[in-house]
Amino acid sequence: MGDFLAEAEKAIPAEVHMISGCMDSQTSADVSNVASFSLPDPAGKAGGALTSSLLKVLYADHRKPDGDLSFQEVLMKVRGVLGGSYTQIPQLSSSRPMDINTPFEIVPDGCTGTKRALLIGINYVGQQGQLSGCHNDVLNMVEYLKDVWGFPPQNITVLLDDGSHVNPTRSNILNAYRTLVAESQPGDAVYCHYSGHGGKLRDDDGDEKDGYDETLVPLDYQSAGQIRDDDLFNTLVGPMKKGVQATCIMDCCHSGSILDLPYVFKADGEQTEMAPSPDFDMGPLLALAGALASGASITEALSQQDPQQLMVMAQQCCTIL
């Protein structure tokens, strides 16, 4: 356990927490009527299943719960909300072992650093496989971050394919992550949110035991390709400085290990504490961390998947109600 933790600290200097909507083998869902979740809805009529459920637990009626909820309580309540119509099992992953009974937080108690947020929502407007909830996810979460956690508006970056914000293209997403990492300093609190399609591509460098990389699907995936989990580690997770606490919400399909974090708690009603992810191989992460430390760039070898095949996967992966 000691060696595993030491390797985790070497591979991932920052403390990174991620709540994902489902395990790698599961799909996410798009909720067409957030009123059924009794959500504050300042920006539309749709929301993702994970985001809608989280906000029902954490921000129902536009107010935070009267008492503190632990990480475990939040995830189990989210699972309870999802359990009415969905089979998703949310999970909490982390770069460090966590006591899941500690109060849920996005900003650490006593934080004196800067609060920064990057939120990405992609509805794929006008494309086959169009979603309806992702813009609303982002705008609802912005209100929650400002109201409950005190994030200043000038430190909140939003990418949406709505014609008014910066488009969430592959290049813009990766550049936004790079900027966030470059600006974040020890003591800062960082929040990242992604609502959109997620997918899987055949592993191109042999670092995945199941033979597949988990991916985010940017707006221009047909021309620029998808964003592999290796890209996310290389751009966001690995370079984040020690002393930064980052919280990431991934409301997309196949998102369980999208950030390659070594510790996991699954809200399946059976697991009672966070534990090292079974069969997690720290070797590839240490290799990536070593490349980052040396200043080398990790070769991107994104295979261009046939767009029609990807849209079939997208329709299977996200239930559009």
What is the chain's mean pLDDT, rounded? 82
Q: Distance between CA 159 and CA 135 in Å, rounded? A: 9
pLDDT cut 90: percent of the chain above it = 56
- Which residues are designated catalytic? 197, 253
- pLDDT at position 211: 62
Distances (CA, A) of 137 to 115, 192, 197, 270: 20, 12, 13, 29
Q: Give every strand in the sheet of 245-251, ordered side by side.
A: 156-160, 115-121, 189-195, 245-251, 15-20, 91-94, 263-266, 275-276
| Banded model confidence at residue 209, pLDDT cuts 50, 70, 90 | low
Summarize the confidence of residues 83-103 as an average pLDDT. Answer: 87
Distances (CA, A) of 49 to 52, 136, 144, 168, 195: 5, 12, 17, 21, 10
Asked if residue 59 has pLDDT above 90, the reply is: yes
- pLDDT at position 65: 84
Q: Distance between CA 202 and CA 232 in Å, rounded? A: 16
Rg (CA), the chain: 18
Cα 28–Cα 283–Cα 181 angle in degrees, nearest 5 = 60
Asked if residue 206 has pLDDT above 80, the reply is: no
Kindly report, residue by residue over 112-141, the tens digit of the pLDDT. 999 999 999 999 998 888 888 899 999 999
Asked if residue 299 has pLDDT above 60, the reply is: no
- pLDDT at position 86: 61
